[in-house]
Structure 1
Amino acid sequence: MGVATVLALSITAPGVAVAKPGVPPGPPAGLSREQLADRINRASDQLEGVIERYNQLRSDLQTTVAQITVLKRQIGPLEKQVAEHRAKVGVIASAAYTTAGSTTFAALLHADSTRDVLDQLMVIQLLADDQRREIASLTGLRREYEAAQATLRTLIAQGRAQQKDLATSRAKIESDLATLQRWRTHAFGPSGTPPHRNARVGWVKPEVTGVPAKILDFALGQLGKAYRWAGEGPDGFDCSGLVLAAYKRVGKELPHNSARQFDVVRKIKRDQLQPGDLIFFYRDLHHVGIYIGGNRMVHAPTPGEKVRIDFFDGLPIRGYGHVT
């Protein structure tokens, strides 16, 4: 279980055991406030895409670790069965030699009567049949065991590669976040947050019950919490982490990745949207929000901002989905 444990320990919270980046560069020179804000928005969108790919890679590593753990549990008993059948084959072979000699001809030479000959031949045949069955079983088990070992080696190599990619991606995200925050502070002041339209004005919470009500209550309860990359609560969220956490409250498990969430929902049209449904954005599906009625959604926007309500028409919509 050592390798699985090592790999499992690598699936850590963002920022853990990562070398601190150097002093991030300041904002590009010669840009107006508006140009810098536009550059920040584009950089934030790109970084969110990187974060969602990180979430996907982390999920893949978790799957690999789980597969390794299951396979190692299976290999132990399989190895024991191989040893037991190998021992049986040895015992049967020894018994055949001791009981009847090394050949059928020897049995005929040493028999005192026709009945003895028949008895000896029958014993030899029975032992031979048992031996053939045990050898066949041993051969099949050895093949199964060797295949399992080969699969395990492949999974371990895959897990180590995923672990390396994860660490590289984590370090880049941390470095890019530091740079982006310096840009935000320069452009928007100490808060690092640009002014935006207050979408809560004029919005009335829809009257819903059951699952949609629980999803909305949870999501709206997170308003004002920080965007935290790879976060799924309770103190901060990224976009797919907020969706995951909201649906977990109603017993539905979703991947921590917006593109994979899109893969598992039932696709619907805009006029079919109901509170609690999901809205997906951008061609590569790197953003998702929860529909709350009135052409609005609650979402974790981008790094450096907080969970809030927004009109969803301000972003390029890719599709809509209902979680079944």
Structure 2
Amino acid sequence: MGTHRTRGAAVRAAAAFAAVATLLTVPGPVRAYADPTPAELDAQVATAWDELESVVEHYDTTRENLAATRARVAATDAQLAPLNQQIDDLQRKVGTIAAGIYKSSGEGPATALLSGESAGSLLNQLALLDHVARDQDQAIQALRVVTDRYETQRRALKNLERQQSTQDRELTVTKAVIESNLAELQALRTKVYAARASRSGLRDPYVPVFPNDAGGTALRYAYQQLGKWYEWAAAGPNTFDCSGLVLAAFRQAGRTLPHSAALQWKQVRHITRDDLRPGDLVFYYSDIHHVAMYAGDGRIIEAPQTGQQISIHQMDHAPIVGYGRVV
């Protein structure tokens, strides 16, 4: 997603929040016609959250991509350093041999040839120098081809880093909007659903089966986090967002995943719904801004949204894009 799309999502999120606020502050005379039902409020808050979660996930994705680009620049620099050193060493070697021949011939090779002193020896030395220089020149040229390729790659990476750094700075500003909207969303949810402050009595009692594999280990960790609160851009140990919970869970299984639902989708092996087993991942919405962990029996464990706790839900509560397995 581009920066303009992120800004647009932030604006739409703010508009959705405003719509919820309008529903809550309808003047007395028209209240009989405009008083929202719980279902209408749920729909308004869900719309606001869908827009906002896109911004949150884009923020996570941009930070992940920038970190990866910087790591690639550092790796390229590490590869360039020894190559440049090898070129310098080869050039120094040829120079040392040439200097040695010059010194051994007194005033220089031409003088030695004219004087007739050790001409055979000098010609042998010159032939050796020519042979060594030719071999070293080929090696230098080969090294320069590799070095040029790395330099070209480095320039492209630095350009990408500059672009991503610009996005990162812009998203730092967007972050303030996100946090403000999140605070407003939480206030609205509290105002409308004060009784939801504690949801332990509503928790799905389902207990997953934990397979003896990486997915099972991750699922067990996610299950142990039930009741902990959602916090955007968090990956534990006390709060999580959706992709942060998945990241932390699979870290327990020795697997490394990015902190982004969209990037996780690109990294997993895609499977069909019929292939789902506990510990697999379920991805939601066309821009893939939400991810959950399949718990079995048509259920998922997820960090839903701000103001809610990690919980077990029915899998088909939102549009599913696809399914994935961490291998």
**TM interval, short-chain normalised:** 0.7 to 0.9
Deviation, 1:219, is 0.7
Amino acid at match of 1:86: Q
Query: Do 2:69 and 2:157's aligned partners in 1 also have CA atoms closer than 8 Å?
Result: yes
Q: Secondary structure at the match of 1:54?
A: helix
CA shift digits 1:134-180 (9 cap, x unpaired):
33333443454454445434433432331231232233133133124
Show the counterpart of 1:60: 65
The 2-side partners of 1:188 and 1:40 are apart by 12
Say which structure, 1 or 2, has more relative contact order (CA 8 Å, 6+ apart): 1
Query: Do 1:48 and 1:303's aligned partners in 2 also have CA atoms closer than 8 Å?
Result: no
Show the counterpart of 1:181: 183
The 2-side partners of 1:283 and 1:99 are apart by 77
Show the counterpart of 1:126: 128
Deviation, 1:207, is 3.7
Corresponding position: 1:79 with 2:84: yes
Gaps of 5+ in 2: 1-13, 24-34
Gaps of 5+ in 1: 1-23
Query: Do 1:27 and 1:182's aligned partners in 2 also have CA atoms closer than 8 Å?
Result: no
Query: Do 1:193 and 1:305's aligned partners in 2 also have CA atoms closer than 8 Å?
Result: no
Query: Do 1:205 and 1:293's aligned partners in 2 also have CA atoms closer than 8 Å?
Result: no
Show the counterpart of 1:304: 307
Q: Residue 208 and residue 184 in structure 1: after superposition, are their counterparts in 2 closer, same or farther (change >3 A)?
A: closer
Query: Do 1:47 and 1:173's aligned partners in 2 also have CA atoms closer than 8 Å?
Result: no
Q: How does 1:20-99 map to 2 (within 5 A)?
A: 27-28=18-19, 30-31=22-23, 33=36, 37-99=42-104
Normalised by the size of structure 2, how large is the TM-score? 0.77
Q: Secondary structure at the match of 2:80?
A: helix
Deviation, 1:59, is 1.6
Q: Residue 234 and residue 191 in structure 1: after superposition, are their counterparts in 2 closer, same or farther (change >3 A)?
A: farther
The number of equivalent residue pairs is: 296
The 2-side partners of 1:74 and 1:187 are apart by 53
Amino acid at match of 1:293: G
Amino acid at match of 2:169: A
Q: Residue 303 and residue 193 in structure 1: after superposition, are their counterparts in 2 closer, same or farther (change >3 A)?
A: farther
Query: Do 2:189 and 2:307's aligned partners in 1 also have CA atoms closer than 8 Å?
Result: no
Identity of aligned residues (%): 33
Higher helix share: 2
The 2-side partners of 1:88 and 1:213 are apart by 59
Moved more, 57-66 or 129-138: 129-138
Q: Residue 313 and residue 190 in structure 1: after superposition, are their counterparts in 2 closer, same or farther (change >3 A)?
A: closer
Q: Residue 284 and residue 41 in structure 1: after superposition, are their counterparts in 2 closer, same or farther (change >3 A)?
A: same
Normalised by the size of structure 1, how large is the TM-score? 0.77
Amino acid at match of 2:251: K
Deviation, 1:275, is 1.6
Deviation, 1:290, is 0.9
Amino acid at match of 1:226: W
Moved more, 242-251 or 26-35: 26-35
Query: Do 1:27 and 1:183's aligned partners in 2 also have CA atoms closer than 8 Å?
Result: no
The 1-side partners of 2:124 and 2:164 are apart by 59
Q: Secondary structure at the match of 2:90?
A: helix
Q: Secondary structure at the match of 2:18?
A: coil
The 2-side partners of 1:126 and 1:111 are apart by 19
Query: Do 2:210 and 2:217's aligned partners in 1 also have CA atoms closer than 8 Å?
Result: no
Q: Secondary structure at the match of 2:44?
A: helix
Show the counterpart of 1:294: 297
Show the counterpart of 1:161: 163
Q: Residue 72 and residue 185 in structure 1: after superposition, are their counterparts in 2 closer, same or farther (change >3 A)?
A: same
Query: How much is the aligned-residue C-alpha RMSD, in angstroms?
Result: 3.2
Moved more, 227-236 or 205-214: 205-214
Show the counterpart of 2:277: 274
Q: Residue 95 and residue 207 in structure 1: after superposition, are their counterparts in 2 closer, same or farther (change >3 A)?
A: closer
The 2-side partners of 1:227 and 1:304 are apart by 7
Show the counterpart of 1:313: 316
